Structure formats: structure tokens, C-alpha cells
Amino acid sequence: MQKRPTHSAISHFIATILPPKTNDVQFLYHVPRNPKYIADTARVDQVVLSVVPTPGVYEEIEFDPSASQPSTNGAILARPPRTICFIHRPFDLERRRIRRGTLVLASHTSFDEHLTVGWNMALAERLGTVGESVCVQGYKGDPERKIGIVGRADVPRGVLQHRIEQEFGGLEYLQEGASDQIQVVAIMNAFNADEVFRVLETAQQRGWADRGKLPGRHILYMTGQPRDNGLRAAGEHGMSVACVGHAAAEEWGIRYLAKRLRAAFPDLSIKEVYDEEPLAIES
């Protein structure tokens, strides 16, 4: 029987997709508290992936005192699967509830950069917009943070809109620009007037957009959440805007990561959890 992969193997694989960053959450977010724990030998039966820790996540990773107790007929119940859990936003994780031996991995900034509507080359490929492209970099005082990709395209807006809807299950908001033909696509995980101008300036510097009236008319700006000042700025320049929604962008990343894991580790159980986020309780 083929041995299950180890904690080290799974962690290394995910880190190749989501390179850990110094200003991110700790990638090894919760390590088993066992002096005998060795990541190179700890085996994995399943990987659970979620945007946040939800009841569905705890069903998979929570300690169950009855699991190691004899049943009424004296038989020992089957042990729970050896689990690694990946969480995008782990801030509310209740560590005391985690089953012994379970490793929790986390990625917030790197996940936003690479697997939502940002510097997401995999998404750009699936949308058919990968050609000559530029990385938009620098955000909120972090000059190294990649917040988007601006690339050349040649596609009717309606065709591109259909592709986006297929990827994300719909659109939260669409603002049609001054042209039905898209020649530049910006995939951005920030949306305000400054970022709209950066996209336009990048396209102009590359010769992909002119400087005349409505210079953004052949640009489609794709992002998560619609923002009023971003929409106004895009409209002033004639840009089209497609907003997929914040949650949909994050869930796309979870689906993509699960797909990559299934391809790399076909014998593992890969579970995706898409519960609604728990509402914050005001004190």
C-alpha cells in the first residue's frame, strides 16, 4: 500500500503556489503540540480548505472525546482522519478546539495576491487574456505587494463577460464602458480612483491605450467589490468594470487550490468548505 504524503510534502506543495511573505500571517499557523511531532514523518489522510474557520471546518478538525472511547460493544471506534487544514483568513480560529495532530496552514496576503483578483496568472490563462502583461505592484505602504495584472487582449466585452461569469458563477456588478471591444484587461484586488488611474497609465505607457477622449474605452477593469469612487473614475475614462464580489473571488482561490492538490495527490481526500462566514457578535 502506498504511503500517505507527509505534512512536509503538503506544506511544501502549497508554499510553491502561495509563497510565504514576511508581512503575512504565519504560514504554519497551528503546529501540533506534541514533542514527538516531526513534519517529515507525520502522514496525511485528508486536506480541508476554507476561506475562514466555520462550523463545517470544525466538523473536520475538532477534537471529539468519544472517538477514542470504546463503543457499547467494546470495539474501538475508527480514528479520525489525519488532517491538514488550510485557511485563508485564520484570525478567529479557536485553537483549543483543534484535534491533536492536526496541522493548520494559513495564507492571507499571498493568497490575495496570487489566487483572487490580483496577480493571478492562472485566472488570466483561464480567461484567455494571457499575452503581454505587466504586474501592478505596491499598495498600502508595501512596495513589493502585487495587487494586479494588466495585460493585452482582443475580445468582445460580451465574450469576456461570459467567461468571467463561468469562472465565478455570476457577477455582482457590471458597468459597461464606451466600447464593446476590449483590448486591455486589468485583474485587480484593489479598486479606487488611484488604482484606476494606475491601470490607465500602465496601458498608455505600453502603447495599449491612447491619450485622447475616453482613453480607457477599450479597457476592462476586473475586481472583487464595487467601490463608488472607483466606478466614477472608470466611468470618466470610459472603462468597463466587472466586479465578481469579495467572497466569490476568495472562493475561486479555494477551488483552484483544491484542484491543484487533487492533481498532485490523487489518493488524498480533499474537502472544500464553503459555509457562510459566522457573523461577528457585537459586545
CA-nearest of 146, 20, 167 to 86 is 20
Residue 278 has pLDDT above 90, yes or no: no
Mean pLDDT of 59-75: 66
What is the arithmetic mean of pLDDT over 1-25?
92
Question: Are the CB atoms for 91 and 30 separated by under 8 Å?
Answer: no
Higher pLDDT, 23 or 57: 57
Residue 77, pLDDT score: 54
Band of residue 63 on the pLDDT scale cut at 50, 70, 90? confident
Residues 221 and 209: beta-carbon distance below 8 Å: no
Mean of pLDDT over the chain: 92
Looking at residue 66, what is its pLDDT?
Answer: 60
H/E run at residue 246: helix 246-264
Query: What percentage of the chain reaches a pLDDT higher than 90?
Result: 82
Measure the CA–CA gap between 116 and 122, rounded to whole angstroms: 10
Beta-bridged to residue 272, according to DSSP, are 49
Instruction: Give residue-wise pLDDT tens across range 171-186.
Output: 999 999 999 999 999 9
Match 477534537 to its residue by C-alpha cell. 63
Q: According to the model, what pLDDT value does residue 202 have?
A: 96
Q: Give the per-residue pLDDT at 69.
A: 53
| pLDDT score for 79 | 79
The predicted pLDDT at position 281 comes to: 42
Residue pair 150/134 in contact (Cβ under 8 Å)? The answer is yes
pLDDT tens for each residue of 233-259? 999 999 999 999 999 999 999 999 999
pLDDT at res. 64: 72
Q: Which domains are assigned to the chain?
A: 7-111+252-273 (3.40.1390), 118-243 (3.40.1390.30)
Model confidence at 151, pLDDT cuts 50, 70, 90, reads very high
The residues that bridge with 133 in the sheet, in sequence order, are 151
pLDDT attached to residue 131: 78
